[in-house]
Amino acid sequence: MSEAKTKSRKAGKSAGKQAETLTFQAEMSRLLDIVAHSLYSEKDIFLRELISNASDACDRRRHDALTRPELAVTGGDYRIAIAIDTKARTLSVSDNGIGMNRDELVANLGTIARSGTAAFAASLTGDSRKDSSLIGQFGVGFYSAFMVADRVEVLTRRAGEDDAWRWTSDGKGSFTVEPAARDAHGSTVIVHLRGDDDSFLGRERVGGIVRRYSDHIPFPIVLAEDGGEPEQANLGAALWTQPKSNVTAEQYAEFYHHVAHAMDEPRSVLHFHAEGAIDYRALLFVPGARPFDLFQPERQSRVKLYVRRVFITDHETGLVPSWLRFLRGVVDSEDLPLNVSREMLQDNPVTAKIRAGIVKRTLDEMERQAKDDAPAYNAIWADFGAVLKEGIYEGATERDRLIGLSRFRSTAGDGLTSLADYVGRMKEGQDAIWYIGGDDAAALARSPQIEAFRAKGVEVLLLTDPVDDFWIPMVGTHDGKPFKSVTRGGADLSKIEGGDDKAEDEPAGTDLGPLTAAMKLALGERVKDVRGSGRLTDSAVCLVAGDHDMDIHLERILRAHKQIDKAAARILEINPKHPLIKGLAEKANVDASAPVLKDAAWLLLDQARILEGEQVTDPVEFARRMSKVMTAGLG
């Protein structure tokens, strides 16, 4: 407050002439409490986070200065300075980057603005031990400073603005914002170290942390102790410009942490320099875990575009198709103009060529991994397969390669299988690739509709990604064999040899005609048909869709998304070999109007619905009938 500046602020903003104490968003306070008390094994990472932010701020200012030259740093040198003050027991990180104005300070450092932090807050359990371990997975950026600090100060001035601001907090529920003085534009984060730990006050130690975590930062990081001579502590060159042979796995991983704002270890690294008609470098990563925004409706890539080492944007670059949007990293083009706009990027031959190059290299690498290191590839597939399959549905040029890369759960075992392997295991006489769609592979594996397939030893793919219900009908066949849903149309397995022929062997014996007729009469419009089943061995009943109807699971997805409002009537299949059905059939053959047949018809339909994970038709009626039948059973 003492340093209140007299420069006038824009009209309409009365706030901020004096120190104001604001409270953190409620989730923020919880989070800070956990950060402060977490037993984070590597406290050093707070420095990495502050340097990462300083680097982002330099990137942003350099970018903004492309269109507003008055924002540029005089002399053009961006840099990050770390100062150790052993007497004051502070460690400060200064940058001459973009800086923040008052509103940005409050928004960026007072609320949960980052998706990662928000995801972290959302997953907090309230059990502090469990929650501490979550930090390791999510990372909390700026707030990690509270692991080592009892107070953090941020002194900042937005490029192009006159007023400077000080943000201060002890990380315990509130923070203060007040006017301050700062000669140059940029930010300084001052970490007041807690009393018990001197380790961050040593030049050697801090220099070591910088080299370990921030060597790749493309701006010089200089380090000074107690006002001494500053020395550069990092390499200071863009990592992606270095020859591959000079870069260690650790450096790649640390660069990934910085560029992706992620804490996990990347699953694969793609680093190349394309020269020729167009010249660009790319350093891309397949993340070790699903990024939080993977399934957000925008389906946007976050890969950063640089032009000749200058950061341009990470939004709508058009460099990566949406079905590779999980990739993180940078692309640095020599050919695009520095002032390239979003519109220019969208239909630009250079962008299109880079995109084609990235797609090709990424798929090459995945194919190589699938061949050489199947477990590693399967782990990538488990996290990102659902996204890759969007490319098949969208009809990407690489559709066939993507189908080749696809992996599936199946009834053949616990692992993942490719379509090629499935086809290789097809039975003599099997003419289709069978699949069943649903939400949960374990539940699908126990579906009544696949009983006869199991008995015959016919493998069924268990598809649990919603996108499967869309790309499969669209692709239609693979290797000349049609995809067929086991819950749709007839399932004639009689041509297939072998297995345990329980499904076909015993003659059904009893005539089902009167029973199916009586059931149809009882159920009316509720079912499309009632018929004997060739796909059941153990269960009494199941529901299937008609030949020309939509697959059951697809219909359920569309209904959940309000794309269609009514479910089509299903075919109720009954198992001629099941004792209950046999008994009912005998009864129907004697007296097709016996009242028990009507109750049985409804109970069987409801049973089939429950097996599908749907609700009974009418819970009150269901309960009444159930009690009635059970009572009769007692007598």
Residues that bind ligand ADP (CB under 6 A): 49, 53-54, 56-57, 95, 97-100, 108-109, 114, 141-142, 187, 261
Residue in 24, 35, 40, 53 binding Mg ion, rule: CB under 5 A: 53
Burial 396-426 (b: 16+ CB within 10 A, else e): bebbebbbbbbbbbbbbeeebbbbeebeeeb
57 binds, among Mg ion, ligand ADP, none (CB under 5 to 8 A by kind): ligand ADP
- How far is the C-alpha of 122 from the C-alpha of 131, rounded, in Å? 11
**Minimum Å distance from CB 573 to Mg ion?**
57
**Minimum Å distance from CB 61 to ligand ADP?**
9
By C-beta, is 141 or 266 nearer to ligand ADP? Answer: 141
Q: Is 406 in the site for Mg ion (CB under 5 A)?
A: no
By C-beta, is 53 or 485 nearer to Mg ion? Answer: 53
By C-beta, is 95 or 153 nearer to ligand ADP? Answer: 95
266 binds, among Mg ion, ligand ADP, none (CB under 5 to 8 A by kind): none
Which segments of 181-279 does DSSP mark as H helices, in order?
203-214, 249-260
- How far is the C-alpha of 164 from the C-alpha of 187, rounded, in Å? 9
**Minimum Å distance from CB 255 to ligand ADP?**
15
- How far is the C-alpha of 327 from the C-alpha of 331, rounded, in Å? 11
- How far is the C-alpha of 614 from the C-alpha of 319, rounded, in Å? 43
321 binds, among ligand ADP, Mg ion, none (CB under 5 to 8 A by kind): none
25 binds, among ligand ADP, Mg ion, none (CB under 5 to 8 A by kind): none
333 binds, among ligand ADP, Mg ion, none (CB under 5 to 8 A by kind): none
The answer to whether the beta carbons of residues 478 and 446 sit under 8 Å apart is no
Q: Helices 115-122 and 128-138 sit at what angle, rounded to 10 degrees?
A: 160
Q: Which of 411, 423, 551 is nearest to 487 (CA)?
A: 551
Binding segment for Mg ion (CB under 5 A), chosen from 50-58, 302-310, 501-509, 612-620, is 50-58
**Minimum Å distance from CB 395 to ligand ADP?**
35
Element housing 101 (H / E): none
By C-beta, is 116 or 288 nearer to ligand ADP? Answer: 116
By C-beta, is 34 or 359 nearer to ligand ADP? Answer: 34
- The three-state (H, E, C) secondary structure of 518-548, written as one string: HHHHHHHHHEEEEEECCCCCCCCEEEEECCC
Task: Return the SS3 of 224.
Answer: strand
By C-beta, is 59 or 606 nearer to ligand ADP? Answer: 59
- How far is the C-alpha of 241 from the C-alpha of 32, rounded, in Å? 37
Closest residue to Mg ion, judged by C-beta, is: 141
Task: Return the SS3 of 87.
Answer: coil
169 binds, among ligand ADP, Mg ion, none (CB under 5 to 8 A by kind): none
Residues 133-152 that bind Mg ion (CB under 5 A): 141
- How far is the C-alpha of 382 from the C-alpha of 391, rounded, in Å? 16
**Minimum Å distance from CB 139 to Mg ion?**
8
Residue type at 198? D
571 binds, among ligand ADP, Mg ion, none (CB under 5 to 8 A by kind): none
- How far is the C-alpha of 461 from the C-alpha of 422, rounded, in Å? 9
By C-beta, is 134 or 387 nearer to Mg ion? Answer: 134
109 binds, among Mg ion, ligand ADP, none (CB under 5 to 8 A by kind): ligand ADP
Q: In the complex, which residues of this chain contact Mg ion (CB under 5 A)?
A: 52-53, 141
